[in-house]
């Protein structure tokens, strides 16, 4: 089996997995809860990288793996900043204040976890593509 055939099978299987996750609502959840939208940037970089692979360009894969993980970690930091920026300890004395702090924390954690997840999955997928091409 040629590397191109293996690459096609691998990416088709991955696309089927993403379609299944979309159908179950997981993909929508991830992109809805990343209010910073960094997951869109990560996805665009990943798709451009995979398109490049199918056009015969593979020298970028190692750099793209690092960029995907780095963007995911940047999303993590942005999420923590969002989570902590609106915390007013003086407002924790009222139920309304606690609700506001909780909403801020949840929004920030959504960005942190979702962008890190997208970056890690995209980097892993890219890494497997590079491994298949090296065989």
Is 76 within 8 Å of 116 (Cβ atoms)?
A: yes
Angstrom distance (rounded) from CA 52 to CA 71? 19
* Total count of residues recorded for the chain: 135
Q: Which of 14-18, 19-23, 42-46, 91-95 has the lowest mean pLDDT?
A: 91-95
Angstrom distance (rounded) from CA 86 to CA 81? 9
Angstrom distance (rounded) from CA 52 to CA 58? 7
User: Does 6 score more than 80 pLDDT?
Assistant: yes
pLDDT average, residue stretch 9-32: 95
Range of the domain at 53: 3-134
The reported pLDDT for the residue numbered 28 is 94
Is 130 within 8 Å of 4 (Cβ atoms)?
A: no
Q: What is the DSSP letter of 58?
A: -
- Domains of the chain: total: 1
Average pLDDT, the chain: 90
The token duo for 37 is: 């939208």
pLDDT average, residue stretch 66-90: 88
Angstrom distance (rounded) from CA 74 to CA 60? 21
Is 70 within 8 Å of 44 (Cβ atoms)?
A: no
pLDDT average, residue stretch 65-73: 95
User: Does 106 score more than 90 pLDDT?
Assistant: no
């Amino acid at each position: 089996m040629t590397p191109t055939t293996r690459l096609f099978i691998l990416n088709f299987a991955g696309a089927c997995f993403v379609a299944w996750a979309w159908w179950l609502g997981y993909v929508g959840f991830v992109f809805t809860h990343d209010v910073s939208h960094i997951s869109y940037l990560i996805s665009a970089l990943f798709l451009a990288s995979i398109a490049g692979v199918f056009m015969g360009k593979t020298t970028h894969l190692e750099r793209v793996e690092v960029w995907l993980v780095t963007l995911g970690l940047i999303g993590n930091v942005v999420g923590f900043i969002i989570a902590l920026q609106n915390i007013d300890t003086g407002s924790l004395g009222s139920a309304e204040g606690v609700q506001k702090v909780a909403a801020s924390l949840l929004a920030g954690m959504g960005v942190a976890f979702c962008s890190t997840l997208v970056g890690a999955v995209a980097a892993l997928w890219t890494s497997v593509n590079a491994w298949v091409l090296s065989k």
